[in-house]
Each structure stands twice: as C-alpha cells, then as structure tokens.
Structure 1
Amino acid sequence: MKLKLLVFGVGAGAAAIAGIAILGRDAGPSLPADARADSVFIDKTGHTMTLFSGGQTLRTYAVSLGRGGLKAKTREGDNRTPEGSYLIDARNPRSAFHLSLHISYPDARDTAAAVVRGEKPGDDIMIHGIRNGLGWLGIFHRWVDWTAGCVAVTDVEMEEVWRVVPDGTPVEIRR
C-alpha cells in the first residue's frame, strides 16, 4: 500500500511539473522576420505592452510590473514602474533577466522632480524576460507584479520584443 502511494505521489508530481512546463509556454505565431516596431505603449492598469508599427498594432503582451503598486515611480527603491514618455536607449544581451531593453528613465523632468523632493529618482528600468534559470515559469510569472520597477514578459516573448524593437523606439508608459 505504501509503495502504491509513493508511486502515485511521484507520478502526480511529475505530471504537475510537466503541466507547468507545457502551460507556461507561449502560444501563437511569431511576428514576421521583417516586422519592426516604431513605438511601444505600456498600459499599467491593463498590465499590457503593445508594439505598434505605422499606427497598427503588431502584438500585445501581458506583463508584470514593479511590485510597488500602480502609482508612478517617484524615487529610487520604491519598486514602482515609471510613467511618462521615454526611449529604448540601450540593450543588454547578458542581462540577469533573459535579455533586456533599457528605458531612458529618468528623464530631466523625473530627475528635477526627485531633486525638489530631496530624493534620487532611481534608474535601470528595463523591459526584460524572466530571471535566468526561471524561464520555465513562462506565463505564470504574470500572476504577481514582481519586478523592481521594470516591465517583464516571458523569455519567448522577450526574444521577439528584442528582435522587433530597435534602439531609439519611443516608449509611452501610462496608467
């Protein structure tokens, strides 16, 4: 009897892990090889990031945001995602979070507002994948806002975003 329970437990655990791996994968065809985004819109309330080209939607992704809540980022360490108009100004192929595109936060307005408050505005805001080694989480990472203020998608999605969003692309982040 104990052996049957052990075998059942091991089998159920293996099935659960396989289910997580399968369900955690992204579905849907990739964007065409020649697709290029000319703007990015991040809707914090809707937890979405939409890539546009010529005013037409290329793709919309569900995202995780900063664990500090939906209010705008105001200072270093608040774990919030900023709001405003920025640019993709750098990329990191060796990111700890499976590729990352740097968002040009803080801009002059963000910095000036933080100085008036006697605070640092923070920096290092990215669009990125899941922490390296945890990519198997796939879509499950979206169940909670977990970043330090960044915008996170799955690793498969990040590979697509990396490919179609060039440096210099405008990024609008709003609630």
Structure 2
Amino acid sequence: MLRICLLLFYSLYTGVAGADSDVWLLVDTTALKIEVKKGERTVDTISDIAIGRGGAGYKTHRGDDVTPFGDYRIGWVGERSNFRRFFGLTYPNAQDARTALIKGIINMQTYERIVEAIESNQIPPQNTPLGGQIGIHGLGAADETIHRSMNWTHGCIAMTNNQIDHLSRYVEPGMVVKIK
C-alpha cells in the first residue's frame, strides 16, 4: 500500500517534457472546437469538430467511445493514415492511470508501465484496459455530411481533411493538448 501511495504522490509532481514552443491546443468538447493557443492568446480556431459517440469525460475502458478529458501531448504524427493525418495523443496519462489503479481497472504493473513511459517522454502503452490510439485526425474517405451531423468517433477528435491539413501547420511532437 505504501508503494502505491508513493507512486501516486510522485506521479502528481512529475511532468512530461515536450515541444519547446509555447503553442498548444485546447480542445473544447462542448463547443466542438479546437483553439490553437500561443501562451494564453488564441491564434486560430477550428470549429465543427466531432468527438466520441459516448461524449467526453473519463474513459473507463477500451471501446467506450468516450473522448478523454485531460492534459496530453502529441506523441506521434501519422502523415499516412486512413484518416488522412493522425496526431496520436499520449493517452493514457499518469492521472488516467492513477484513477484506473484506484478504481481497480488496471493493476500496479500496468500503472507502472504507463507512468514510466510518461516520465521517459515515451508513448504510453496503447494496449491496456483503458484503451489507446486516441488522437486528432481527418476524415480520409469518410462522409463529411455524417461528420457534420453527429459525434461519431471511438474517442478521437475528428475534423475535415481541409481542417486537419490546416492544423498540421501548428502540430509537432511533444505539443501540449488539453481536452476539456
């Protein structure tokens, strides 16, 4: 028990290093928009995004179709994706892992793997009970009409191909992404 408490305490005070830029993304799941921020100033806004079919909140398991709230980083950039471009997020983060450990969703070994990856500036394991492969992506060959009419993803943040191309001007690995 002491080991769990120490790990939880330690993970509260460690950060993930990333991009040197002060440009970051704020994903507003209520307004369905992404703001490109430089410090606290909004420099660009992309509206009419789509999120998970299950809404936004705390993800409890793979396949819940929920877009996770939290602070993440761009872990990888997939330029050749079925969704045109895919900006993978460092989900699950240490807070997601901490909550899942406390709730008994993951075990200590899985918790430690996630936290170790985050602390080492690596992509956390994508195959845990919490799921993975959460990111920001375009439509690829999907129907833009459906995209504009409903939230349809399995937990990702989606936008049109033109929008993802536009956003790619700002995105770099390590960039902070806050989902609220």
TM-score norm. by structure 1 comes to 0.71
Q: Which structure is higher in strand share?
A: 2
Matching residue within 156, 160, 163 for 2:166: 160
* Deviation (angstroms), 1:48: 1.1
Matching residue within 95, 98, 121 for 1:109: 95
Letter in 2 for 1:72: Y
TM-score norm. by structure 2 comes to 0.69
Q: How does 1:1-175 map to 2 (within 5 A)?
A: 38-62=23-47, 63-119=49-105, 120-130=129-139, 132-134=140-142, 137-138=143-144, 141-174=147-180
Letter in 2 for 1:58: V
Q: Which structure is higher in helix share?
A: 1
Structure 1, residues 61-103: CA drift from partner, whole Å, max 9, x if none?
A: 1210000123332221111000111111111112111101011
Structure 2: give runs of 5+ residues left out of the alignment.
1-20, 106-128
Structure 1, residues 133-166: CA drift from partner, whole Å, max 9, x if none?
A: 23xx446512100000000011001011112111
Cα separation, 2, equivalents of 1:51 and 1:115: 33
- Return structure 1 stretches of 4+ with deviation > 6 angstroms: none
Largest Rg, 1 or 2? 1
Structure 1: give runs of 5+ residues left out of the alignment.
1-35
Alpha-carbon RMSD across the aligned residues, in angstroms, is 1.9
Identity %: 33
Cα separation, 2, equivalents of 1:133 and 1:61: 20
- Count of residues paired in the alignment: 136
